[in-house]
Amino acid sequence: MKIGKLSKRSGLSAHTIRYYERIGLLPYAGRDASGQRDYDDSVLVWIDFIGRLKTTGMPIADMLRYARLRADGPGTERDRQALLVAHRDRVMADIAARQAAVTVLDKKIASYEPNQSKD
């Protein structure tokens, strides 16, 4: 699969895919005879995972640390787990803060309601 196809399938722009490769967030893709990147489906799994990290607000620098541990292979599992646990805890706190904010928003929204039921 070439970069255009991967772009469509992953939802990332071709620009972004090259950028991610450049900074090391995506593994260096093999090139075909004419120098174009050639991907197999397995990269989609990784892109989906880093997409989850991104959705939850992890900075690229942290994703890179995870990616490097992963690339270092066996022996790094504990570190990888610790990294994810710390992140998950931050995410849960963040979700709680957003939910609290929604409560405030809901009150404000209700306050704009013409109070039609006074009985």
Residue 61 contacts a second copy per CB under 8 A: no
Residue 116 contacts DNA per CB under 7 A: no
Q: How far is the CB of 98 from a second copy (least distance, A)?
A: 5
Q: How many residues bind DNA (CB under 7 A)?
A: 22
Residue 69 contacts DNA per CB under 7 A: no
Count of CA atoms in the C-beta half-sphere (13 A) of 86: 10
* Cα–Cα–Cα angle for 18, 15, 47, rounded to 5 degrees: 60
Residue 68 contacts DNA per CB under 7 A: no
Question: Which of the choices DNA, a second copy, none does residue 84 contact, using the CB cut-off of 5 to 8 A by kind?
Answer: a second copy
Residue 55 contacts DNA per CB under 7 A: no
Q: How far apart are CA 82 and CA 50, in angstroms?
A: 16
* Cα–Cα–Cα angle for 49, 50, 56, rounded to 5 degrees: 100
